[in-house]
Structure 1
Amino acid sequence: MARLTSDMWGTGAHDHSSEMVHVFRMRLIALGSSFAAGPGIAPQVDAAAGRSGNNYPHLLARRLGLDSGDSTQLLDLSVSGATMLNLISDDQDTGDKVFPPQLSLLPSADDDDQTIITVTGGGNDMFYIGSMFARTLSMTLWGRIYSHLFMTQDQKQGLENPTIASPDQVIERFNILLDDLHKRFPRATIYLVEYFAMMGPDTVGGRHVAWSQDQVDRYKQTADQLKQIYAQAAKGRANVHIVPLAQASYAHAIGSKQPWVSDGSILNFYRGGAFHPNLAGMKAAADLIYDTHQKLYTKA
């Protein structure tokens, strides 16, 4: 197959070896939670969803030559706080708006379409980032003040009494999602975009985060679990591919000189972007997905 470039998507491409012309009508669909949505990153195109116009789906769409403002070219359904159940079957109440299950918002498939679907999720099912919120708010004086002044009772309850799924349950939810996507879009290319590394080689407990170095190591173990879940979900599925963002971002975790994620400072909490990807991270993720796609569809 000839190398696909951004000019070829959505406009048509010449295969010079056969002198044939084929027109691709590309569509990018993004499903997921906050690590896809981009809370705290300007501009916020949907404040209730915590969704940025500079998240990796929007940046990737531009790399692909798509109009990120046209929902027939980019359909970004990501919502901060979403669990896999919110992707599959459950409504999601963010406090400002109720979002229906993301699968229910998908368009019908068109056999002439080149569809790419990105998915980032599972961490909220395991209370991964939520536990970082809870620890910071409970272990710091400003956190306790912030919680008292700015958080609703429902938000406090969610952090104090979380519902935590097992890794096996999260894998099952991924399987349900991927089975459904394959039925809807049998020719689609699906990318499971791993979580950004939050704890890395430069993260020092008690300095860059409120908790101990032992807890830093436990968060690394949770991150490894998420990687294994993604690998297991993709196993045996020819159209599903892992985007190895966890490894690529490990040297850019909290405490690094060039972090791709935000720390748990009071300013980042106030902006809504604490313990989440920053703009540099979103750009890096979009580049990695684009490069992964190029390699997949390029043959010598």
Structure 2
Amino acid sequence: MHGRWRLAILLAAVLALVLAGSGAATAKQHIKRYVALGDSYTSGPLIPLQRLDPVGCARSTNNYPSIVARHLGVKRFTDVSCGGADTTHMTRPQEVTLGVNAPQFDALRPETDLVTLGIGGNDHGVFGSVVGVCPTLRASDPAGAPCQEHFTVDGVDTLKAAIADTGERVSEVLAGIHERSPRATVLVIGYPRIAPPSGTCPDILPFADGDYAWLNDVEETLNAALAKAVAEDGAATFVDMYPASLGHDACAGPEAWIQGKDTDVFAAASYHPRRAGMAGVAAEILRTLRY
């Protein structure tokens, strides 16, 4: 009798494994139509090979949406991410060099299965302000935090205050995605770390020493705003790239996912993801999707 029970348990275990394998295959086949929305941290400026539709969006064929689409083998892949995009460009056209990028929401369809969204860093000019202003202030106080002081007015960090509104805008974007593609799995992609948690590399990331911690704080504030918008939405998932990119900041040498201050026309724009960074984001997305 005990032998029969052991055999039944063994057969049940084998059947469970077979069904699990069958379920995984079915899940992969389910994602057939994928739309990628986002800014330059999605589009991948200067990562070979660059698309030309339009050239001003700096959209790479090896950005993380392209890597994910190839891995999933989707039937229809539409990448409308564009450098410089903010949340308003989900619903209105974006003028870029040598063309116009249509409202990104135009790519969404009722039958869309998967949507990834990487947006928020350009709202209120947050990222542009950081990389445009901070390096110019280093010489004034190399060991201090002159950039943090520059953006602090009457005791209020103006960039972090603006990020609170960005989170609300992302909430509206998520509602718009669900309305247009109600069946889609929606993933909001966080931003990878630019600066290390400790130490400096002024030749690569020319910020004052004290501004490294502040830059991390600004990024964490932005990612927290995105995570909050996702939590309140209740129907999307946040892919947190900040912990996943530990050890891959701009100072990490060969392990860096982010380019430093010097643009490499054959690899990546300054302060933007390299191809390795895109591969890292794609891996986190696929892990989230359980592929």
Query: TM over 0.5, yes or no?
Result: yes
Which of 82, 87, 90 is the equivalent residue of 1:84? 87
Question: 1:28–1:116: 8 Å Cα contact kept in structure 2?
Answer: yes
Task: Output aligned runs, 1:1-300, within 5 Å.
Answer: 2=20, 5=24, 9-10=28-29, 24=30, 26-46=32-52, 47-66=55-74, 73-87=76-90, 89-103=91-105, 105-110=106-111, 115-135=113-133, 138=136, 166-201=162-197, 204=200, 206-257=202-253, 258-265=255-262, 267-268=263-264, 273-294=269-290
| Identity rate, percent | 26
Larger Cα-atom Rg: 2
Query: Once the 2 structures are TM-superposed, how far is the Cα of residue 106 of structure 1 from its aligned partner?
Result: 2.2
* RMSD over equivalenced CA pairs, Å: 2.7
* Counterpart secondary structure, 2:123: coil
Distance of 2:207 and 2:92 partners within structure 1 = 33
Distance 1:35 1:107 in 2: 20
* Secondary structure of 2:246 counterpart: helix
Q: Could you say which structure has the higher helix fraction?
A: 2
CA offsets 1:219-254 (integer angstroms, 9 cap, x no match): 111101111111111114342001111111132001
How far 1:199 moved relative to its partner?
Answer: 0.8
Cα 1:108–1:6 change in 2 (3 A) is: same
CA distance in 2, matches of 1:247, 1:6: 29
Number of aligned residue pairs: give it. Answer: 250
Gaps spanning 5+ residues in structure 1: where?
11-23, 68-72, 142-162, 296-300
Residue type of the partner of 2:28?
Answer: W
8 A Cα contact 1:41 1:54, kept in partner: yes
Look up the equivalent residue of 2:41 and give its one-letter code. F
Letter in 1 for 2:93: D
CA separation of 1:2/1:188 partners in 2, compared to 1, >3 Å: closer, same or farther?
A: farther
Amino acid corresponding to residue 36 of structure 2 in structure 1: A
What does the per-residue CA deviation read over 1:82-124, in whole Å, with 9 as the maximum and x for residues that have no partner?
011112x332112321222211x124313xx6x1110011001
List alignment gaps of at least 5 residues for structure 2.
1-18, 140-157
Superposed CA offset, 1:240-287 (max 9, x none): 00111111113200111400110111x437976110000111011111
Q: Deviations over 1:169-193 (max 9, x none)?
A: 2122111111111111222111011
Counterparts of 1:117 and 1:195 in 2: how far apart (Å)? 17
**Aligned amino acid, residue 231 of structure 1:** A
- Distance change >3 Å, CA 271–CA 65, structure 1 → 2: closer
Structure 1 residues 212 and 43, CA gap change in structure 2 (3 angstroms): same
Quick one: structure 1 residues 198 and 250, their matched pair in 2 at CA, closer, same or farther if it must change by over 3 Å? Answer: same
Letter of the 2:103 partner, please give it: P
The residue identity in structure 2 corresponding to 1:195 is Y
The whole-number CA distance in structure 1 between the counterparts of 2:31 and 2:162 is: 39
For 1:128 and 1:260, the matched residues in 2 are separated by 20
